[in-house]
Amino acid sequence: MTEQLRKFDPWILAIACMLPTFVTLVYFVWAAGSASGVQQGVYLVAKTIQFGLPIVWTAVAWRDRIGWPRRSRQGLVLGTAFGVAVTGALWLLYWGLKGQPVLEQALEPIRDKIADIGFGTPAAFIALGVFYSLFHSLFEEYYWRWFVFSGLRRYVKLGWAIVISSLAFAAHHVVVLWAYFAHSPPMAILLALAVAVGGAFWAWLYYRSESIFAVWISHLLVDAGIFALGYHLAGPLLAK
């Protein structure tokens, strides 16, 4: 039975590459404008389906166990340095663009989205940032690097596995970036390419370290930096 199911591996991996983009469209775009409770419910269902796919397929077809990431010092320094560097680059970009139309026109939709999903208070926004930094980053590493990237490596060469997984990883971020930077396609494309580069680095780091621990820490730092920046951007809203 397991061998028969494994024949569907390429199809499952293809679905896994596209599913997060569809999920993001569902909760971030199509559910927009609904009551905050409805949006949060749609998000929970959509993300459960997304992150449930690797768990189910791993259990029934791969016969592997998903466990807590094995602690490993290998790659930890490199991953931490990358996370700090990306966070610093984001803040430098922000200060460089502060006051410029390309950024100022993005502030209103960003603040509207924060209020729309029901995280418009300091405590709620910080709680959201902690969740994304600590847990969502871990779920994404299990999904993209442990499941998608390692699954692709069974069928294509390392370089192609990195390219395919990193582009798929960036794809669902395009949905979010376009919502904020539709007025500046070059900026949206630049940021999406930066996400793809980050995904490629994390895939390579996962391959090199043979553990998602270092990759998770790196991803955690980047997400924490993004939410710290978001807190700064949403300051007037959160202060109300």
pLDDT digits (tens, 9 = 90+) for 165-213: 999 999 999 999 999 999 999 999 999 999 999 999 999 999 998 889 9
| Cα–Cα distance measured from residue 114 to residue 111, given in angstroms and rounded to the nearest whole number | 5
pLDDT of residue 105: 92
| Cα–Cα distance measured from residue 107 to residue 112, given in angstroms and rounded to the nearest whole number | 8
Neighbours of 233 (CB within 10 A): 18
CA gyration radius for the chain?
18
Q: Convert 157-172 to b/e letters by CB count within 10 Å (16 or more is b).
A: eeeebbbbbbbbbbbb
Residue ranges in the chain whose pLDDT is less than 70: 1-3, 65-72, 236-240
pLDDT of residue 70: 65
pLDDT of residue 107: 86
pLDDT of residue 230: 87
pLDDT of residue 222: 97
